[in-house]
Amino acid sequence: MSSFEFISLTIIGCAIVTWISRVLPFILLKKMSLPQIVVEYLSFVPVVIMSALWISNLFIQHLGHLPSVNWNNLLASIPTVLAAILTKNLLVIVLVGVFSLAFIQIIF
């Protein structure tokens, strides 16, 4: 098998596995419903994921040393968090975050 065939089959295999892992839950849950406690538990998953991503981007890891603060991301977070509190609109939050970080990177 040539490397082109191997890479092609790997890409196709990865696409199939990714598609199945994303579509299969929708197919299964269409025919059945989850208990209320599971639905309540799953409602916290997006908040936890976004918080973890946000906190991990506030710091810069250095090998063998403590992490330091990424000041650009921290400063851009302030108007973004305010937009989240005031609007609760994901599009507005993302736009404020992108423009805040762009503005801060232009200035500094």
Specify the residue for token string 């990865």: 14
Looking at the predicted structure, is the pLDDT value of residue 86 above 90?
yes
Asked if 93 and 80 count as a contact pair (C-beta separation under 8 A), the reply is: yes
What's the whole-model pTM score? 0.63
Four-point Cα dihedral 27, 32, 37, 39, nearest 10: 30
Q: Is the dihedral of CA 78, 83, 88, 92 positive or negative?
A: negative
Q: How far, in Å, CA of 76 to CA of 82, rounded?
A: 11
Domain boundaries, the chain: 1-32, 34-107
pLDDT the model gives residue 18 = 95
Instruction: Identify the CA nearest to 98 among candidates 48, 69, 51, 90.
Output: 90
Q: What distance lies between CA 105 and its chain's CA centroid?
A: 22
Say if residue 54 is exposed, middle or buried (CB neighbours under 10 Å; 0-12, 13-18, 19+).
middle
Looking at the predicted structure, is the pLDDT value of residue 14 above 90?
yes
pLDDT digits (tens, 9 = 90+) for 52-78: 999 999 999 888 889 999 999 999 999
pLDDT digits (tens, 9 = 90+) for 90-106: 899 999 999 999 999 99
Looking at the predicted structure, is the pLDDT value of residue 1 above 90?
no
